[in-house]
Amino acid sequence: MDELIPSFSIFLLVFIRVTTFFIMMPLFSHRSVPARFRIGLGFFLSVLVTYTIHAKPFTMDGAYFMLMIKEALVGLLLGFVAYFILSAVQLAGTFIDFQAGFSMANVIDPQSGAQTPLTGEYLYSFALLLLLSLNGHHLLLDGIYYSYSFIPLDQAWVHLGSFNLAKYLATLLARVFLVAFQMSAPVVAVLFLTDIALGIIARTVPQLNIFVVGFPVKIAVSLIALAVAMGTIYIAVEHLFEWMFVAMRNCMALLGGSV
């Protein structure tokens, strides 16, 4: 108890950063994961982190309240960066669905509660399974642990409004769209050629109702093209994971002011 009570102020700050990170990060933030599991995992992980970092106990005053807000912002931003980059998979599915005609049949995403494309939800679910099979969730937990090397607990302010951080987040936004387009490009290109072929058929055979024939043809072509390009897509997803961890590290360095 003599060690536990002075460390409670440290533990509370660690617990805030870890649990807010779980709110936004991929996989652990999914609605199918029970809240008690997330809180329990955050609690035990915070206990481990508390006794492995070197920090002096804090006095619970007004400055300590500002540190709590800072920890919540850091955890939310790191989780948001990880989720934002992985959303490129859903965006690639949106491009495919728009070209294949699936955009009228969106489904409810159980994580965000918003409507998402069918192909995007399918690819995102398999991306999460690939993340688990590659032990990417371990690297995500390592990321929140090593964040204390960039942003110590006793650092009162973070560079949240810095120009370098805003520029880097804007660069991430552009790269997410670029990666999503690259992932969906094989299927979208095949569907574009299918549209051209259907247009030629409509001009040469005007008696054929191309709107009735076109939908099942495009659906069949999109499924075949998606099955052929699936290996290439998930190679891109694997590289996306590597980029996600690098982006989290860079954001931590920019928040801490070490860059």
Specify the number of domains making up the chain: 1
Residue 118 lies in domain: 80-256
Is 71 domain-assigned?
A: no
> Is 122 inside any structural domain?
yes
In a domain, 75, yes or no: no
Q: Say whether pLDDT at 145 is over 70.
A: yes
Q: pLDDT value at position 1?
A: 47
Confidence of residue 235 (pLDDT cuts 50, 70, 90): confident
Average pLDDT, the chain: 81
Q: Distance of CA 20 to CAs 17, 35, 161, 162, 172, Å?
A: 5, 12, 20, 22, 21
Instruction: Assess if residue 89 is contained within a domain.
Output: yes
- Residue 73 and residue 187: Cα distance in Å, rounded? 39
pLDDT, tens digit (0-9, with 9 covering 90-100), for 35-61: 788 888 888 888 888 888 877 877 777
Any domain includes 188: yes
Looking at the domain assignment, is residue 17 inside a domain? no
Radius of gyration of the chain (CA): 23
Distances in Å between the Cα of 226 and the Cα atoms of 37, 76, 190, 220, 221 are 35, 34, 10, 10, 8
- DSSP letters of 70-129? HHHHHHHHHHHHHHHHHTHHHHHHHHHHHHHT-TTS-EE-TTTSSEE-HHHHHHHHHHHH
